[in-house]
Amino acid sequence: MGKRKSDEDNDSRASKSKSADESNPYLAHLNVQKLPKMTPRKTTAEDAEKYEAAPTNLFNGRPFSQKYRDIMVKRRLLPVHKQRSEFLELVQNNQILILVGETGSGKTTQIPQFLLYDDMPQRSGMQIACTQPRRVAAMSVAKRVADELDVVLGEEVGYSIRFEDCTSSRTVLKYCTDGMLLREAMNDPLLSRYSGIILDEAHERTLQTDILMGLLKEVCRKRSDLRLIVMSATLDAGKFQSYFDDAPLLVVPGRTFPVDIFYTPEPERDYLEAAIRTVLQIHTCEDPGDILVFLTGEEEIEDACRKISGEINHLISAQPDHVGDLKVVPLYSTLPPQMQQKIFEDAPPPRKKGGPPGRKVVVSTNIAETSLTIDGIVYVIDPGFSKQKVYNPRIRVESLLVSPISKASAQQRAGRAGRTRPGKCFRLYTEKAFKNDLQEQTYPEILRCNLGSVVLQLKKLGIDDLVHFDFMDAPAPETLMRALELLNFLGALNDDIELTDIGVIMAEFPLDPQLAKALISSPSHTCSNEILTIVAMLSVPNAFIRPNDQRKQADEAKAQFNHPDSDHLTLLNAYHEYKEHGSDAQWCFANYLNARTLKSADNVREQLKRLMERHNIPLVSTDFNDKQYWNNIRHALASGFFMQVAHLERNGHYLTAKDNQVVQLHPSCNLETKPEWVLYNEFVLTQKNYIRTVSEVKPDWLLEISPDYYDMKRFPDCEGKRALERIAAKIASKKKDKKGK
């Protein structure tokens, strides 16, 4: 707090009082009299610029550095700079502002600073938050803006992301992930510490951004002092404006190079083949410049890379004087980081002096559309597809489907060719298809996924009437019903759709409701330490590595951790061994385990452990030699996953309980037998219906955990039902016997 006080001193010194400075020789250099008076929300661009050009920093009282002045020259050249006055006028006269700025406009770095000089949150001990969908962006932009304001990162400017809070009591501008701001809202629904909130990249319409928009729309009504700026890259501004009650719009031009778009005259039958052909054509016919190809997934990308390399080798040996080298680089999220780094390497040089130039081609998933920017790309090949999540509320299954992209997405892809100089984009579909068949925008995530967690969060945020909640795009009623039903069966919501005591605690955990429930229930099965580990392992990507050319060795390595009737316990064993071996990366490598993934599981575990301690959920274990050790763990899992259970039918197939979907154990399952009853972590819909990460359960646990879900009166007829009825009868007669005696 000491620092904030000195800010105020500095401020008031600058604006009104002279006497203190005149009598203080150390402050003589401030030359304060020349600085204009600044009143919050009345700042003009000229006044702010005078402060930015003053000898000392308004925010920390230190003299500005040369580096600061050098950066300032560049900042003044950003397109958004020209509109500072316009921005200030709009934000001073309106509570909500929509800002559209294309790539290179400088909106992410400058707008928060413009607002900072106008709001001056330091005077009232408040902050400005700017949200980003991704952690790396929050971190790197915060670093940049700290430099631009000539302050130390983590002091006046900071960032806040999961696992890392780089802010202090003097922080006035904070970049954070949108999920982080949402977490804050759960404990402070009015977000009262913020004088201004900027939602960046709103056009991406992530789940969190959509919830924040709905929430902030309400918060603005209750807090007239709050300023909200919604920033987006696309020209879909009209939708944002009308959602926010016709908020004014500021359009900032971008700074990119023109990109020529080419379409195919006829539809392509095989986009993969067409993409490869186009790479070869560009390489042999076009000017130097790197190529970016968008494909849908790992397998397709690796396949394409092999084929391109093969074809290029042919061409080079046929015409060595006319065809240069081509470096083919795959890119997808599960690629290890050192492999991902290859996209930044230079294109190969000509093989001999004066020979044809070398070129780099990056074959990538959608990761290169938003998350990663590769400089030097001049050619983009866009086949027009990506994998998208879809949710089927009827069978309660999320799956990934290769689908046509939207126009907005096609535009974004094309833009990747014009970052450093004019480029070309080859769309492997017809212009007519682009105009008539592609939808304008990609469906927002909130329409495409299971909403269990979202509904729990909204309830925790104090939204009582979910059905009438003002979503920008309202999810299907059936999807909401499914979420409410799940939360009701889990005991998080009562029959009046109110949050229960357990529901309140569940909402605190950054977990799917099923996992949160299993974790909270685990102390009553004396295995919370173990469930904590399993939940952490299930919250990170698959830790078992299985390279295509070493499948056998990898499977043998995994077999060491195997538990005969539970994949969940295999995860537990792997984690224990990892810790036993001192979290050693070498050991992980030798045992086909992903050290990075296990490290992040450990991080997650620590975070969840702290939350458990905060809520007084005891950390306990059953003695390892107790024969109930394994049973207790599976029993606790069942208390969260009793709705994800399958029964082995006499024909050898599994049928999911109640939904009666035919499913098979995923080939990655390591169960030694096919137990009659299993619970599963995940339903994977690919060529077949698979259930993945499976454990044996005892049917009497199911009846005991949720008599409501396993109410035989509301259970469809199947072999599983008859088996459950027999067990129920047995339990009933036992109870009777007991009473009789």
Partner DNA sequence: GAGCACTGC
Residue ranges binding DNA (CB under 7 A): 133-136, 161-162, 177, 179-180, 182-183, 206-208, 296-299, 332-334, 365-367, 371, 386-389, 400, 445, 453, 510-511, 539, 542, 546, 548, 551, 555, 666-668, 684, 686-688, 690
Closest to DNA by CB, 248 vs 510, is 510
**Closest separation in Å from C-beta 206 to DNA:** 6
Report which residue type is found at 325: D
Count Cβ atoms below 10 Å from residue 569 Cβ, excluding itself.
Answer: 23
Closest to DNA by CB, 234 vs 622, is 234
Closest to DNA by CB, 365 vs 533, is 365
Closest to DNA by CB, 496 vs 549, is 549
Half-sphere exposure for 359 (CA within 13 Å, toward CB)? 27
Please report, for the chain, how many H helices and E strands are present, in that order: 28, 21
**Closest separation in Å from C-beta 229 to DNA:** 20
Closest to DNA by CB, 40 vs 297, is 297
Closest to DNA by CB, 338 vs 548, is 548
> What strand order describes the sheet that includes 359-364?
259-263, 423-427, 377-382, 290-294, 359-364, 326-331
| Residue 570 token pair | 């295999």
Count Cβ atoms below 10 Å from residue 1 Cβ, excluding itself.
Answer: 7
Determine contact, residues 424/414, Cβ cutoff 8 Å. no
CA distance linking residue 251 with residue 27, whole number of Å: 41
**Closest separation in Å from C-beta 473 to DNA:** 16
Report which residue type is found at 382: D
Residue with tokens 């319409």: 205
Determine contact, residues 270/295, Cβ cutoff 8 Å. no
**Closest separation in Å from C-beta 691 to DNA:** 12
**Closest separation in Å from C-beta 275 to DNA:** 16
**Closest separation in Å from C-beta 195 to DNA:** 22
Closest to DNA by CB, 155 vs 445, is 445
Closest to DNA by CB, 161 vs 197, is 161
CA distance linking residue 40 with residue 119, whole number of Å: 5
| Residue 472 token pair | 């920008």
**Closest separation in Å from C-beta 304 to DNA:** 13
**Closest separation in Å from C-beta 653 to DNA:** 12
SS3 430: coil
- Sign of torsion, CA 537 133 226 60? positive
Closest to DNA by CB, 293 vs 312, is 293
Closest to DNA by CB, 385 vs 578, is 385
Within 8 A by CB and 6+ apart from 699, the residues are 676, 677, 723, 724, 727
Closest to DNA by CB, 535 vs 703, is 535
**Closest separation in Å from C-beta 728 to DNA:** 34
Paired strand residues for 149: none
**Closest separation in Å from C-beta 730 to DNA:** 34
**Closest separation in Å from C-beta 373 to DNA:** 12
Label the pairing between strands 654-656 and 326-331.
Answer: unpaired
Determine contact, residues 492/513, Cβ cutoff 8 Å. yes
CA distance linking residue 508 with residue 495, whole number of Å: 21
Q: Is 683 exposed, middle or buried (0-12, 13-18, 19+ CB in 10 A)?
A: buried
Of 714, 642, 728, nearest to 677 by C-alpha is 642
SS3 362: strand
| Residue 481 token pair | 């019903």
CA distance linking residue 728 with residue 551, whole number of Å: 44
| Residue 661 token pair | 């979907």
**Closest separation in Å from C-beta 66 to DNA:** 34
